[in-house]
Structure 1
């Protein structure tokens, strides 16, 4: 990737990256490309450095090992699912519940879609998975469901979510739907048989999935 492409990953309004910050960004971009195409197990720091246009020694000035690069790629180069869901409990009572959940789906599906190719190799290696899990500590993938359930429970206390709804079950249903949708998109790439990806677009998927979650499947009187 060119330096211009690297700059596009910087937050809007931020100063152009230079020096060590630019090298770090180029390493993350290179690692994201290799992890998605080659896989974690087969990707080496030497390959990442070559792809980034820097020396392996320069790479190690910013990252301890390949696993740390993997974690940083997920946190900084994938859609910010953790940030989006962590903000939800504090927004209870604001706007419409349906809109908040639809916005979350629009972040979650791309996040899981981009994560699958990179995570495949990690899940296939018990040693790497254990090391990765140890580095995450309490910030594991379960936190997405935890924060979403906290948000739904807060809206429930405000009377904006049905009292009969189980916040934890509802959170898992929504996250699970996003996960499965992303899996199908990755599995079939651009060759999905007709009728497999329904609703056909992520936007329609978000709208319909949240509608079913909030309205339920039972016929109304």
Structure 2
């Protein structure tokens, strides 16, 4: 005879552990991570507070898993990024990476901002990351592959180019989080084109 399901899981195919992660992920997406407590997650999940510790080593593990799930959900919602050698120019592809990156960081950085004072969560999040999965890793991989395909210059400074693009994506969101009213306007299509042009063509005479 199979064990009885917890009341919170009746009608669901999720395990209790997955249900708790999904609940925490939804709370992060809706309200961010600031002030998110075990009690809040447990009550929202329909379980007793102590149940969480039967499935996770601590609160930090649960939040890290929920944050990783949130990041993946946001990424899936933004669609596919162009791969190396795909139809279209490198310029067009990089424009897609910039637009994606700004939208991605706008969706996920507020959650990370609420965890600045919780380094254990951020360390746990980094520990469960999959190499090559995150947007910046994919940007690096794309640029390196285009160099190998000959569509970028041999010896192109891929790390510097990726850092420049990532920096703009971070700045577009962090300025709003940190300075609010003084934040710059949303990057325009013209600005995105200028950024890609600067990465590819430089600013020298």
Q: Structures share a fold, TM > 0.5?
A: yes
1:66 aligns with 2:59: yes
Per-residue Cα deviation, 1:97-140 (whole angstroms, up to 9, x for no partner)? 1222222222222332333332234332344444444x336749
Partners of 2:106 and 2:173 within 8 A in 1: yes
| 2:75 aligns with one of 80, 83, 90 | 80
Which position in structure 2 is the counterpart of 1:47?
A: 40
Which position in structure 1 is the counterpart of 2:12?
A: 18
Partners of 1:149 and 1:171 within 8 A in 2: yes
Which position in structure 1 is the counterpart of 2:29?
A: 32
Inter-partner Cα distance in structure 2 for 1:84 and 1:62: 32
Partners of 2:64 and 2:124 within 8 A in 1: no
Go from structure 1 to structure 2 and tell me whether the alpha carbon gap of 1:109 and 1:64 turns closer, same or farther (over 3 Å shift): farther
Partners of 2:38 and 2:49 within 8 A in 1: yes
Which position in structure 2 is the counterpart of 1:158?
A: 149
Partners of 2:64 and 2:121 within 8 A in 1: no
Q: RMSD over aligned Cα, in angstroms?
A: 3.7
- Give the structure-2-normalised TM-score: 0.68
Which position in structure 1 is the counterpart of 2:201?
A: 215
Q: Runs of 5+ in structure 2 lacking a partner?
A: 1-10
- Displacement after TM superposition at 1:47 (Å): 0.8
Partners of 1:84 and 1:104 within 8 A in 2: no
Inter-partner Cα distance in structure 1 for 2:43 and 2:137: 40
Which position in structure 2 is the counterpart of 1:93?
A: 85
Number of matched pairs: 188
Which position in structure 1 is the counterpart of 2:176?
A: 185
Go from structure 1 to structure 2 and tell me whether the alpha carbon gap of 1:130 and 1:113 turns closer, same or farther (over 3 Å shift): same
Partners of 2:102 and 2:173 within 8 A in 1: yes
Once structures 1 and 2 are overlaid, which stretch shifts more, 160-169 or 60-69? 60-69
Which position in structure 2 is the counterpart of 1:118?
A: 111
- Give the structure-1-normalised TM-score: 0.64
Inter-partner Cα distance in structure 2 for 1:179 and 1:63: 31
